[in-house]
Structure 1
Amino acid sequence: MEIGPGVTFAGYRIVGELGSGGMGTVYLGRHPRLPRQDAVKVLSAERSRGERFRADFLREAEIAARVRHSNLVAVHDRGEQDGRLWIAMQYVAGVNLSQLIRRGPVAPEAAVHVLTEVARGLDELHRAGLLHLDVKPANVLIDEQPGRPDRVLVTDFGIARTAEDSALATIDSGFTGTLSYAAPEQLDDGPIDHRADVYALGCTLFQMLTGVLPFVRETTGSLIYAHMHEDPPRPSAVNPLVPAGFDAVVARAMAKRPAERYGSCGELATAAQAALAGVVEPIPGRAAARGRRRGLAAAVIAVVVAGTGFAAVRLLAGNTPQPVPAASNRPVTGTIDPAYWGSYAYMAQTFPNLLPPTPYGGGYQELTGCIPIGAQSDPSWSTAVPVGQLYCVGNSDPVYSLYVTCNADRSPISPDFGISRAEGDERWSRASGSGHLFWGTGVLRGTGTVVDNRNQGVLDIYFDDPGRNFCRLAVYGNTDTGAELRANWWPNAPL
């Protein structure tokens, strides 16, 4: 069928086209039931053929949909219609990093901010046992927010490939990824792990700092050779405004051997932060790349036959999540940055150990994506309202979502809980204070429908002390009962 504006595809009313590539086309679509727009990627007819690819796509897109992080574009749904595979993702209004770089080199401070946010998303993807394998500026979305740091999200990780073996570039499967950012092992026949994404992120850092790719060659073969055998150029030699410390950071991130790179994207971001602060490390020596001639020939054949891919995500070998070293990207609680919360800052400051420091940061158990809701809410966060309401997204282990409701005049709040079937209630007391807890099952507040067509555990929490009695919390869990949610979340909740 012909897909275009006004056409309904997979239930979405297509608004327009957002972009296209070798694997498919991305459309802006209006959700059939919710008041939102999603980015709907429709794979090409060629990609949609083949039982094995279709089964892998549907299975692995489902796995990707479970990964929730403030720096990853959310995968909402996937399926097949009229012989075409499709996947629906969060739509982010803004520019991609490639468009930003076209304006000129990114200032080192801004480049490190973007790098750090991308690293957080990629490390979360790796912890889930997934590889991106197409990290590049075009797959980094920037939601520019005047007066506040830009939101940075990684996209195009919802198209998955099977990983029965560790070879990526073969004549049968074709090359997956974008050649300008491909790690040497992607062009060879060796094993591939999350450090391939570290390499591509190093290429992206170089391009942000200089405005050009690390390797610019006239032919495919010479570009492959450069990735496999040539040292990356020094960013400070290309752009004198770049601090010299970044030379060693890029060199290590783009080391030929995976073992000589940073162990995680978070480690790369930490090194870049140190370089920005003036730390200068010696540039690592060139990592020999012997024994790659056979891989080079195979890679050239594969690229000529298949062309470069549009997007990639791959399950790690054996579908087993591999450990990623701890980095500086874990949720941080206990601090709230009022500048990000606007007129809702008083609400966030009331629960600093529960909510993230910024609306799209990481709070307790990865709580994130906090937005104002209600008819009186202002998406810009600037307008004060008598009763503030915030909606935050949990990681579904066990919290699905959290609603914070507070009276702006700090008058005690009246009970108003969304429990359709009560299971119990109790007075609670802790070192932090006391209050009343109700639990049961109910519907997701504001939707009028039961989440996923099933009962959902709910907790309603009230406080006695004047410092918090003007607020209430409604916690919705990925559980069938409130008792289960109470047992799994309430005992250790930082309240």
Structure 2
Amino acid sequence: MAVAEGMDFAGYRLEAHLGTGGMGTVFRAQHPRLPRKDALKILAEERSGDSAFRARFLREAEVAARLHHPNLVAVRDRGQHDGRLWIAMQYVDGVDLAGLIRRGPGRMPIERVLRIVAEVAKGLDAIHRAGLLHRDVKPANILVEEQSGRQDRVLVTDFGIARPADDTATLAAGLTATLAYAAPEQISGGPVDQRADIYALGCVLYELLTGTVPFARENPAAMVYAHLHDTPPKPSDAGPAAGFDGVIATALAKRPDDRFASCAALAAAARAAAESTVRLGAAAPAPRPRAGRRRLLIGAALLAIVLTGVTTAVALGREQTVPRGPTATAVGPQTAVDAVSWGAYTYVAQAFPELLPASQFGIGYQEIYGCRPMNEERRELPIDVFVEVGRVHCLGNREPAVTVDLVCNADRSPIAPPPIFDRAEGDESWTRPSGAGNLHWGVYLGYERVVTGYLRVYFDDPNRNFCYIVVTGGASGAELRSRWWTEAPL
């Protein structure tokens, strides 16, 4: 069965063709029930009868469903329709990094290169911490969502050849990587670990700095030989990329033991190299705001502390380590609460069983994940320690929610709304079959001094009036109200 734009497939409406690869075709698709777009990958028709390819395709869904990180594309669902396997993934409204590189001839500003590499490194290190390897890191598998007035959103995708790190399968069935970015041990069929992904990220960094892959050769045989035997090229020889020669030499070392220990270490070395040569074009301090605006910003900054007990710096300012557990592969909101997992915060999860994941380590509404308790000083607390006011901080999928915080009185006494220091956009009462309450939305100055939306939800009914919820993300509270609140299971 041929598939094309405008068709219905497995309940999804195929709106636009996004690309075709060796494994299948990807469409932007309208979800059959929710007001959102997904990226739907459909296994190539000619591969439908190939048991090896079907297994590889299903492995992509299984592997990716175990990975929950802001810099990794999330898998939302999978299935079979008319004999064709499909995977529904998080849709990223952007371009792949290969497309950005092709925009030349001008090279990308160094500061943007450094941030893209750092964000990719966070995603890859999360894969490695889960005991997995990506095995095909390249610009085409790095998605970049360019946001006006805000920094790029960077996500790693395509886990079709990802395998457990202890998988000893060799290349008997062919090279499971793109040759221009393949580590020597991948080419030779030797043991492969996370350092092969570090090598590939080094190749990507070189390409971002110079506009070409490090071992560009006229034919595949010559490229294979170069990866195995040639000295890593110097970025300074290919253009104005002075200071990075040592970083590339380490990342592309022939022996895995001679490379960086992690992708984060590679990214940190690249930034240190840039700073040592004073080539950060965006390093100048931001201008001080005018007095009138400064008062607004100070009040807005207090909002994140007073209302939630945590700041968006927790989500955006440092890498998140997501614990793994037996329910970590769950996709979609859950309704059964795992009291063992939630510990002393079970009463919070029970008050919002369809919003929060069933397990602390699972996935909730709009891919809420990474939930953890915190105190007023924004320090993480043990899950089994009782506190009078429970604060649960979760991460969102940034479409548009970045953080979701729940604040609840453990004795279930009504909780008083905190004082308001923010710039409001709207306020309204709400009524749903589940109860009633008040909704307040607006903007505040978030992390990286970017105006960010917030949404606060209060409850009138006794079974939830001991809690309130604060959601942050998007460009405004109105965006959160439209894209998060409308379908929120509250």
Alignment of 1:239-254 (within 5 A): 239-240=239-240, 242-244=241-243, 246-254=244-252
Partner of 1:232: 232
2:35 aligns to what? 35
Kept after mapping to 1: 8 A contact 2:137/2:197: yes
Contact 1:23/1:47 (8 A) holds in 2: yes
* 2:260 corresponding residue in structure 1: 262
Q: Is 2:218 aligned against 1:218?
A: yes
Give 1:467 shift.
Answer: 5.2
Structure ranking higher on relative contact order (CA contacts 8 Å, 6+ apart):
1
Partners of 1:393 and 1:264 lie apart in 2 by 32
User: What letter is aligned with 2:313?
Assistant: P
Q: Contact 1:71–1:121 (CA<8 Å) still a contact in 2? A: yes
Q: CA deviation at 1:191?
A: 0.6
* CA distance in 1: counterparts of 2:320 and 2:212, whole angstroms: 39
1:30–1:18 Cα change, 3 Å: same
Structure 1 vs Structure 2: percent identity of aligned residues? 50
Matches within 5 A, 1:73-472: 73-104=73-104, 105-157=107-159, 160=162, 166-170=168-172, 173-240=173-240, 242-244=241-243, 246-278=244-276, 347-350=303-306, 354-357=310-313, 397-398=360-361, 400=363, 460-461=408-409
The letter for the 2-side match of 1:274 is: A
Secondary structure of the residue aligned to 2:89 is strand
Q: Could you tell me the TM-score, scaled by structure 2's length?
A: 0.62
SS where residue 54 of structure 1 aligns? Answer: helix
What per-residue deviation string (whole Å, max 9, x for no partner) do you get for residues 148-170 of structure 1? 21111111125545888534422
Q: Which amino acid aligns with 1:222?
A: A
In the aligned structure 1, how far is the partner of 2:408 from the partner of 2:298? 26
Pairwise CA distance, 1:80: 2.4
Once residues 67 and 155 of structure 2 are traced to their aligned partners in structure 1, the CA distance between those partners, rounded to angstroms, is 13
Residue 11 of structure 1 aligns to which amino acid in structure 2? G
Q: Give distance in 2, aligned partners of 1:161 and 1:401.
A: 26
State how far apart, in whole Å, the 2-side matches of 1:59 and 1:199 are.
Answer: 24
Change (3 A) 1:363 1:259: closer
Q: Is the 8 A contact 1:12 1:31 kept in 2?
A: yes
- CA shift digits 1:177-214 (9 cap, x unpaired): 21111111111121111111100100000000111111
CA distance in 1, matches of 2:234, 2:391: 60
Aligned CA distance change for structure 1 residues 255 and 204 (closer, same or farther; 3 Å): same
Is the Cα–Cα contact under 8 Å of residues 437 and 459 in structure 1 kept in the other structure? yes
The separation in 2 between residues aligned to 1:358 and 1:435, in whole angstroms, is 22
CA distance change for structure 1 residues 90 and 345 in 2, over 3 Å: closer, same or farther? farther
Q: Is the 8 A contact 1:243 1:278 kept in 2?
A: no
The alpha-carbon deviation at position 45 of structure 1 amounts to 3.3
Tell me how far apart the structure 2 counterparts of residues 92 and 113 of structure 1 sit (CA, whole Å).
18
- The residue type equivalent to 2:360 in the other structure is D
CA shift in 2, pair 1:342/1:395, >3 Å: farther
Deviations 1:51-106 (A, max 9, x none): 45534543552232131111111111122223322211111111221111123322
Q: 1:185 to 1:342 in 2, by over 3 A?
A: farther
The answer to whether the 8 Å contact 1:133/1:196 transfers is yes
What RMSD, in angstroms, separates the aligned Cα atoms of the two structures?
A: 4.1
Distance 2:220 2:314 in 1: 44
CA deviation profile, 1:206-244 (whole Å, cap 9, x unmatched): 00011111111111100111111111211111112x232
- The count of aligned residue pairs is 347
Deviates more, 1:188-197 or 1:54-63: 54-63
Aligned 8 A contact 2:132 2:165 in 1: no
Task: Kindly provide the amino acid, as one letter, of the partner of residue 350 in structure 1.
Answer: V
Q: Is the 8 A contact 1:356 1:364 kept in 2?
A: no
Distance 2:309 2:247 in 1: 34
Are 2:80 and 2:86, in contact at CA under 8 Å, matched by a contact in 1? yes
What letter is aligned with 1:203?
C
Structure 1, gaps ≥5 residues long: 281-337, 368-391, 404-428, 440-457, 476-481, 483-495
